[in-house]
Structure 1
Amino acid sequence: MGHPGFSYIGLIFLMMLTIPNLIWTRHQPQGYDSHNENKILLVFERVGQVCVTCTALVFSDFNIHGWSVWSVWLFAAAFLMVMYEGWWIRYFRSEKSLADFYSSFWGVPVAGATLPIVAFFLLGVYGKVIWLMISVVILGIGHIGIHLQHRQEIITQQ
């Protein structure tokens, strides 16, 4: 279920998620418009964001407690977060078009949404904290759904 306590690993993951997004606010893609986003997906995204943020920080189970077979899940989650940072670097070096923002990375579709969702889910598996896994599924439905909606709009306009 989870042991209450501060998670420095959760904080690191959240910082890896938040810092590029803050930079993005000044480098949004040309033509970006969030006004037509599906309201149901938006509710899932917002509720999921709050739940994931809180859950990632308040369970000490995500911290390193020695090495075991379960550490593979932490390594996988960390690798996906590093891939996420790589996706951001590629985006910031690009022309910053909508196609760049909703692009795939190393075969992962809509990587800007998919990589952190899967990473946080694997962090939940590593910590054996069902609350994070549930929160990530809620966030993923909204966040990945919105990104897929935008990507489909781009494809339709071409």
Structure 2
Amino acid sequence: MKALYRVFAFLIVPFLGYLLGATIFNFFWDQAEPGDLKNADMIAVAQSCERKGPVAWRGFGYHYDCKIERRFKSGTVNTSTVTGWLDPSDIGKEYAAHTMRRAQVAPDERPHVFVGWLCTFVFAILYLFVIAKVAVPAFPERYLQVPEDLEQPETKP
């Protein structure tokens, strides 16, 4: 029974914490505004979207993988796929965007990023207390007892 509790305390609880933290962060991260279309280097227009979820590395809940058409200032047009910040209601809408690492397309304006980071940080601190509370009973007794030589400090004459 103690081994099952340890699996719960050291594997399940941290994994659930990750999923909850990712859910909180991505809720705010995926909110995008159209941005300044006149000065944009690239404009992203959603063509079709596929629903994913309800549990993924992005957390709990559904998200969408959308195929987009990328229109560059130079006149080049190509297609790509984005995850999260577009959904079926955005099909046909134009968003000012840019290319991030690994050629991922991201919106130029994400209005609630700071709130997302702040909420995720607060959640992480609180969840560390939860993990500590759950993990302490899983430790063997020999780690929970204070050694006798540490209980009373030595007094030097």
TM range (shorter): under 0.3
Q: Greater relative contact order: 1 or 2 (C-alpha under 8 angstroms, separation 6 or more)?
A: 1
Q: Which has the higher strand share?
A: 2
Name the TM-score, length of structure 2 as normaliser.
0.26
Name the TM-score, length of structure 1 as normaliser.
0.26
- Structure 1 or 2, whichever has the larger Rg, is 2
